[in-house]
Chains A and B, each alone.
Chain A
């Protein structure tokens, strides 16, 4: 019994470490995915963007990135919240 709970603690510890190690990586990943989508649809909000030719071809594959962009747009007021969230254990 004791061994089982000790093993359980180790597993929990391990998964906690894994999540911590990728938290910043995933934050960076979301940032780049956001930039990628912005670049592609940028012509609609007046930022330099590729020929819409390229955007139209690539858009069908961008469900994830568009979702991230939408979320980020919604959370624009709380960027500091997202960044500070990285430091909370």
Chain B
């Protein structure tokens, strides 16, 4: 199974391009196009109301929109449940308050989006040959794509620290025998081995999960990024910055899509500059007379694209 991430500033035509690429792909293989953008447009572009469950919108083409609010809520509720299980009897620890604070914390949207991506990849593995992701505006998307690498770095550090703790506890236990820790009448045993330590097992499980995502997103045989821009300088600057980040993350990037071209002379200059700076060809899509809404319009856009330029191969 392969993936294409379509990225770009808000309003450049990401969703339209994602739908067009997916439509092209669906003629040869089972394809899913899914929107991660909290401000969903995919259903509008395809002319079909979409939901969190993938539905077949054309032969070989499935589409869906992730409900981000619901994803964040269920992510936090799951955490609340785990915390209550362990600490529920400790009234002093205000768990509801803690979780309400986290909900507003920077980063929650990124984690929830990454979890949504993981779920889609896991469920889609056997069902589709290609998954096209219509992403949120560039800033959020890049933070989401950076998350696996960041999580791996932290995970490794924390595991090293945890091993030191476990080793020292084992050393103390050798001398004093097994110790138990009592807090508010509840007894906890202090783990000294990795197999029995809940923290270590959780860290191992989590790092394994994000390692798999990181491997997928950096594998040119399985993933490509399709950057979409408009033929103006601001769009180019943002795309160039995004490109620099993607390089650091070792993500394979395909050709540029320059959408909404009108043929003006200034545009040609921007496009030439984009090709030179980003070292890849630019594929132009003309500004359509009528807004591309509905399957016919998506077909029109897709006729401007050659999917081979973004289909991952090794």
Contacts and interface: CB of A to CB of B under 8 A. Distances in A.
A56 interface: yes
Contacts of A39: 158, 161
A52 B101 CA distance: 12
State which size class the interface on A falls in: 20 to 34
A28 B27 CA distance: 64
Contact of B150 (A51, A56, A59): A51
B191 to A, nearest CB: 9
A16 interface: no
Interface residues on B, range: 35 or more
A54 B202 CA distance: 9
Nearest to A53: B111
B313 interface: no
B97 to A, nearest CB: 12
Interface in A51-71: 51-54, 56-64, 67
A61 B155 CA distance: 16
Contact of A51 (B107, B168, B190): B107
Contact of A36 (B82, B102, B154, B158): B158
Interface stretch (A5-13, A19-27, A80-88): A19-27
Interface string B135-176: 000000000000100110011001001101100110110011
B161 A53 contact: no
Nearest to A63: B188
Interface of B: 79, 82-83, 85-87, 101-102, 105, 107-108, 110-111, 147, 150-151, 154-155, 158, 161-162, 164-165, 168-169, 171-172, 175-176, 181, 183, 186, 188, 190, 197-199, 202-203, 206
14 contacts: A21-B175, A22-B172, A25-B168, A32-B165, A52-B107, A52-B108, A53-B151, A53-B206, A57-B79, A58-B199, A60-B82, A61-B202, A63-B183, A67-B181
The 10 residue pairs across chains A and B that have the minimum distance between CB atoms: A61-B198, A50-B154, A60-B86, A29-B168, A56-B79, A53-B111, A60-B82, A61-B199, A64-B181, A22-B172
Given A21-B175, A54-B203, A63-B86, 6 more contacts: A29-B169, A32-B164, A36-B158, A52-B105, A52-B108, A58-B203
Interface of A: 18, 21-22, 25-26, 28-29, 32-33, 35-36, 39-40, 43-44, 50-54, 56-64, 67
